[in-house]
Amino acid sequence: MKNPLVPLARTYAMVNRDMVGRLKNDRLIVYGTATATEFPALLDSLNATAGFKLHEQGDGYGPSDQSSFYAAGRPVLHLFTDLHEDYHRTTDDWQKINADGLAKVADFTTEIVRALANRPAPLTFVNVAPPSASKTPAVTPAYGAYLGTVPDMSNNPGGVRLTGARAGSPAQKAGLQGERITPQAGGIAVRALQARAKAPRGAQPGTDARIPAPPNGTEQKLSATLGTRGG
């Protein structure tokens, strides 16, 4: 995103695959399906041949590479075959990959990209609000207080780079727009993305949180009232 091979202005959409080697029972999760109005019909059409059990999630954010593109106003799709018991463990060996399933996901992705490349008109971007807390997410349940900042997943030695805020989130309502690098989150000093993610967990919805000013920037410190996801 910082130094794109193709200028962002010419980027039509972003299609991402992350953790697609453990397909089970043809269950394929696709995030970002509501980030362009044309995506649901496109996926339904292509899946008529592919035959996946699609679980469509509208949200364009998430802990993978599509997030920064969505924050920059580009439609995204993220294909994912779900978490498994070996995630981030030494037991995640290559022998456990479902090679046929991986090839099937790759073929499906190719058809998505081909269909997008052949479209004569641009996609209609949609800024999707975060999913409701009353809905059961496909992978990880929501927990703790919710701020709604969107982090850059890369390392930033000066702190944590925030690429923006989710639609309707406490961070957006507090006035967070565009990017900023912050050394703190919720009043807790952090130097790593993982620590930033943990910062609001000890707080309760309805309490105040600070989004600090950048170390050398002109933006002001923001004050947000923590909420709940979808609230």
In the Cβ-directed half-sphere of 88, how many Cα atoms lie within 13 Å? 1
> What percentage of the chain reaches a pLDDT higher than 70?
67
* Phi and psi at residue 109, to the nearest 5°: -60, -40
pLDDT tens for 6-15 read: 888 889 999 9
pLDDT at 191: 39
C-alpha 136/C-alpha 140 separation (Å) is: 9
pLDDT at 213: 67
| Domain parsing of the chain, residue ranges | 8-117, 149-225
CA–chain centroid gap for 147, Å, is 15
On whether the 149-225 domain is CATH 2.30.42.10, my answer is yes
pLDDT at 109: 98
Residue 39 burial by Cβ neighbours in a 10 Å radius (0-12, 13-18, 19+):
buried
pLDDT at 184: 47
What's domain 8-117's superfamily in CATH?
A: Zn peptidases (3.40.630.10)
pLDDT over threshold 50, residue 192: no
Residue 136 amino acid letter: T
